[in-house]
Structure 1
Amino acid sequence: MLIFPAIDIKDGRCVRLQRGNYATAQQVAENALQTAKAFEASGAKWLHMVDLDGAKDAHPVNAPLFFQVVKNTNLKVEVGGGIRRMETIAYYLNGGVSRVILGSAALENHDFAKEAIRTYVEKVAIGIDARNGMVATEGWLNTSSVSYLDFAKEMEQLGAQTLIFTDISRDGMLSGPNIEMLDTLNRSVSCNVIASGGVRNREDIQALRKLGLYGTICGKSLYAGSLTLEDALYAAGGQEDET
């Protein structure tokens, strides 16, 4: 199972939120590039980066920071937040980003999601952020009437290969991942599933690995010190899958 250390950017700073609430933003690192290099030195192969401003404003805001990491590390970087147009996907991928994440846009515009997946295949992941089982949008500021499972199955039908699932109620809370929802999702679709939200320690990583997930994102736990990246990688069983 792959481990994706996370760097979320708001106003150019590395922050973490609680349950997606922008008012709870807390700076957790001084410099995105230095943090990325530290993750790489600890054994990471992938990095999960989110443009929180972009997610709210519906267009890229912090892209230069992402490209700085891409150019100055050997990490494979996946980026989400504010990706609403084919031109934006091309912008990121041409700049060296390995995978882009579509969230609100995929829910609101299936034609866009279909075109993106058809054009870029494995370089496009679908982010499914759920509040009480329903998909949230607009940087988690709004909640739709679409269930996370229905949305996952729709994206699978469009050809999506990778889904990133976040239970918003767990995100940034160090309360443990939603094992039940993740297990249900993983059993319901053939896509690779990446868990996000709530991971706090090595035991959580082991529990997620037992579900047979493709990967898990670790954020708050790494910054708070309840989990080291080395322990996460060990519990995940290594980073064999380089795709």
Structure 2
Amino acid sequence: MIVLPAIDIKDGNCVRLYKGDFSTVHQVAKSPFSTAAQFKKDGAVWIHMVDLDGAKDARAVNSSLFLEVAKTSGLKVELGGGIRDMKTIEYYLENGISRIILGSVAVKNPQLVKEAVKQFGEKIAVGIDAKNEMVATEGWLAESSVHYLTLAKEMEQIGVKYIIFTDISKDGTLEGVNLQQLAAMNQAVSCNIIASGGVKSILDIQACRRMGLYGVICGKSIYSGSLSLKEAVETAGDQRC
């Protein structure tokens, strides 16, 4: 299982939100570059990055920063936030980003996901962010009428191989991952599932590994010190997935 430490970017800064609420934004690190370097030192192979400005504005905003991290960190970058068209997908993948995350468009424009998967295959992941089991879009500012498992099955049919599932009510809370919903998704589809939201301690890493998940994203837990990234990587095992 791979462990993906997270760097969320807003206004060029490393920040975290509480339950996806933009009014709770606070800086958690001085530099995305030094932070990424430390992640690599601790054994990470992948890094999960989100363009929060992009998610809110429905367009790529901090693209140069993400490309520089990909170029200088030695880490594989998984990137989401504001990616709404093939041109943006192609730009990122052709300039060093290893995996693109499509979120809101999976609900609003599944044809784009289909085209992206056809062209780029496993370099495309879908982020399914849910609140009360219903999918949220537009940087979590809007709630849809689509159940998270329904969307997961639709994405599986399209050919999506990676799904990142976030329970918004857990994100940034350090309350532990939503094992029940993760288990339901892992059983419902054959996709590789990456857990996100609520990771607190090594117990969450152990639980996700026992469940047979492909990966787990850790953000606030690393910055707050409740989880050692080095220990998480060692517990998860081989990071070369």
The alpha carbon displacement at 1:163 in A equals: 0.1
| Partner AA of 1:222 in structure 2 | I
Question: How far, CA to CA, are the matches of 2:67 and 2:103 in structure 1?
Answer: 21
Contact 2:175 2:199 in 1 (8 A): yes
Counterpart residue number, 1:221 = 221
AA aligned opposite 2:199:
V
Residue 109 of structure 1 aligns with an amino acid whose one-letter code is N
CA distance in 2, matches of 1:104, 1:240: 28
Deviation per CA, 1:140-182: give whole Å up to 9, x if none. 0000000000000000000000000000000000000000000
Q: Distance in 2 between matches of 1:143 and 1:59?
A: 19
Q: CA deviation at 1:234?
A: 1.6
Give 1:56-75 correspondences, 5 Å limit.
56-75=56-75
Cα distance in 2, alignment partners of residues 4 and 50 from structure 1? 12
How far is 1:237 from its partner?
Answer: 2.2
Question: What residue in structure 2 maps to residue 231 of structure 1?
Answer: 231
Secondary structure at the residue paired with 1:28? strand
- 1:74 Cα deviation from its structure 2 partner: 1.3
Corresponding residue number in structure 1 for 2:53:
53
> Are 1:183 and 2:159 matched, yes or no?
no
CA distance in 1, matches of 2:80, 2:154: 20
Amino acid of the structure 1 residue aligned with 2:228: T
Count of matched residue positions in the alignment of Structure 1 and Structure 2:
241
SS at match of 1:117: helix
Determine if the alignment matches structure 1 residue 167 to structure 2 residue 177. no
Determine if contact 2:45/2:240 at 8 Å carries over to the other structure.
no
Equivalence for 2:134: 134
Cα deviation, residue 240, structure 1: 3.9
Asked whether 1:120 is paired with 2:120, we answer yes
Match of 1:6 in 2: 6
- The residue number in structure 2 matching 1:42 is 42
Give the share of equivalent positions with the same residue, in percent: 59
Match of 1:19 in 2: 19
Unmatched 5+ residue regions in structure 2?
A: none
User: CA shift at 1:106, angstroms?
Assistant: 1.4
* Structure 1 unpaired stretches of 5+: none
Partner SS state of residue 70, structure 2 = helix
Q: CA deviation at 1:73?
A: 1.8
Structure 1: how far apart are the matches of 2:117 and 2:188? 20
Q: CA deviation digits over 1:108-146, x for unaligned, max 9?
A: 011111101111110000000000000000000000000
